[in-house]
Each structure stands twice: as C-alpha cells, then as structure tokens.
Amino acid sequence: MAVSRASSEVHGGRLTVDLSALAANWRRLAARAPGAECGAVIKADAYGTGIDRAGPALWEAGCRSFFVAHLSEGLVARAALPEAALYVLNGLPPGSSPAFAEARLRPVLGSLEELSEWAAFSRGRHPAALHVDTGMNRLGLSVPEALALADDPRIAAAGIDLVMSHFVSAERPEDPVNARQIADFSRVRKALPALRGSLANSSGVFLDGARHDLLRPGYALFGGNPTPDAPNPMDPVVRLDAAIVQVRQVEAGMSAGYNGRWTAPGPRRLATLSLGYADGLPRALSGRGHALVGGVACPILGLVSMDLIILDVTDAPAARRGARAVLIGDGLDVDTVGRSAGTIGYEILTSLGSRYVRDYDG
C-alpha cells in the first residue's frame, strides 16, 4: 500500500509528484485556446500519479471536465471529484447504464448499439458524449454513421452534449492524416451543430484547426512532451528515486545479475537499488538505461530483476549505502527513459508500481 509522505530514509523507490507543476501545465495548455474549455485525461490512475490527488489539484486549477477509460476509474474519480463532469472513454458495456447514471458518469458512446441502449435508458435525463472514428479504427461510429444522425431522435434521448474523435498521429504535425481527420471531424460538427466538439489530445492542442470547444490533454499534463521534435513546453511533474542498498567492488571478468549478461571489463564499483520490473521499471532497460547519482549518469548493468537493479557507479563519488539514485528527474525526463527502454514515456508513467512511497509537493 502506498504511503502519502516519504521519509528521507525510505529504503526503496520514492515517487514524488509536483502538483503545482501539474496545475501550471494545465493552465499553459488552456492558454493555447482561450475560447475553449480545457479538460484533463486522468485515466490509468492519472498516469500513475494518483487520481485522488491529481484530480483535485486540477480542479483547484480550474479544470471542470475529466476523462477516464473505464467505469471502475470513473467511480474512483467521482469520489475525488464530486462536482466534475466525468466522461468514460471506453464506451458503455452492455447493461451498465444504471451504474453510470448512479455515479453521474457520462459514457462516450462509440457505436449505434451503445447509442440506442443509452437513449432507451436515459430518455434525455443523463448526459453522454458521442465518439466518431476519423481514422484510428478502434472505437467510434464511422463518419457516414455520424452524418446520418443529423435528425436522429436518439441524439436528444441520449443527452449527447459532446462529439469527439481521436487523432492517429497528432505528435507528427507533418503527417497528412491529421488534415484528413480535422476535415472529417469538421463535417461531423456541421451535421450536428448543437453539440460541442473535442478533438485535441495533448499533441492536438498544438495543431491548428484541432482545438474546437473542449481540449482533452493527458500525457502533457504530467510532464510528457507533446511536441517530440521540439523542446518540451511542459514542466516536469514526476520524480522517481531509490536508495542504494549496497555498494561493492568487482574485478575484471566478474559478472553481475541474472545469466551473467554483463562482465566487468576492469575493476568497477557497483551499486544495487531496491526497485525493479515489479515497480514498473521495464526489463528492457537492462544494459540500456541509466540513473543519476550525485548528478553523474550511471549505466544500468545486467538484467533488471523483479525487485533490484545494478548500476555502475565507478565515476560517481557520491554513491554510497543510503544515497539516492534518480531514475526520473533532474533532467532525466520520462521521454528519455521511454526511449531507452524501446517504448514511450506513456508506458513508463502508467506502469509505475504500487510499492513506491508517494510524496506530493505543492
């Protein structure tokens, strides 16, 4: 069970979340579309930072509309955000309408079947959103299906107040699919002029023609770079560090970790940290990632194991038992960690484990 505050002597991993930076990021994104509302995507436990803390911090900053993925997340978010508009992105499971209504959650309806089921239940009493697929081909009505709803009474019966779609490649502004999606979404909006529109995810906030009435950033709020080919305009929010458990000297030819995947090329000084893949540190960082000890980049050696990793701290004089090594933070950003693991920063954040002591600043 995660603890709310960290002792400076905590033996394992410590996750620090800067709630002031989170709020600043939301305000920065909101300022890019002064005529629109800025919402917040807080799915996957607010990208690993905790819905119960991140949600209220965003509410205090001025956010009023939030998005989660599942009904179960919606229930957690409702407890933390009693007055917010809460949308559930992954649709309406069969027979779940009463649970949505009881918790005042707004399903994002992604098929004609879901629209019919919610309309028959809601009869205009409970709001919802309509998801239109403009290119992703995972969830949502097709564009022709959406255009055909222009005079359909189910729109009013389902209490639809928002129509939305999702970008395929918003982080790549030069990708021609963006322009096609923007054009298709504009066609749908013209057919359903009474509904507000939402297209811009984190990267979409930076695309012209994409902002519409309601922005829904997620990753960028938590410090991820929404403009990967340019400097990150967001403030870092998440810091991850861990204590050094032991420091040892090894000689040339000695191996470290499972299967002896690393062999010392000469005398080296090694440090063991008390966290591993059970804490969301990908095994793919084996031999590829690094941590910072006293500001010095120290490579991860051998295989990342379930509860422990090994660093080469030969060049880090600050390395000693109890000293902290930084896995995310101090310039080692989550996008860099993701690239080192052959993945993306989203996966790093949303995989952060439950064993970390969590410390909230701001």
Q: What is the rounded distance in angstroms from the CA atom of residue 326 to the CA atom of residue 341?
A: 16
Q: Does the annotation count 190 as an active-site position?
A: no
Q: Which domains does the chain have, with CATH numbers?
A: 32-222 (3.20.20.10), 238-361 (2.40.37.10)
The answer to whether 316 and 273 have CB atoms below 8 angstroms apart is no
Q: What is the rounded distance in angstroms from the CA atom of residue 317 to the CA atom of residue 230?
A: 34
Give pLDDT, residue 9. 60
Half-sphere exposure of residue 342, counting CA atoms within 13 Å on the CB side? 7
Q: What is the pLDDT of residues 75-104, one digit of tens each?
A: 999 999 999 999 999 999 999 999 999 999
- Residue 187 contacts by C-beta under 8 Å, 6 or more apart in sequence? 143, 147
Point out the catalytic residue in the list 43, 47, 87, 277: 43
Q: Does the annotation count 43 as an active-site position?
A: yes
Q: What is the pLDDT of residues 299-321, one digit of tens each?
A: 999 999 999 999 999 999 999 99
Give pLDDT, residue 102. 98
Give pLDDT, residue 362. 87
The answer to whether 15 and 50 have CB atoms below 8 angstroms apart is no
Give pLDDT, residue 3. 41
Half-sphere exposure of residue 95, counting CA atoms within 13 Å on the CB side? 0
Q: What is the pLDDT of residues 333-360, one digit of tens each?
A: 999 999 999 999 999 999 998 999 999 9
Point out the catalytic residue in the list 87, 190, 219, 258: 258
pTM of this prediction?
0.94
Give pLDDT, residue 6. 42
Low-confidence stretches of the chain (pLDDT beneath 50): 1-8
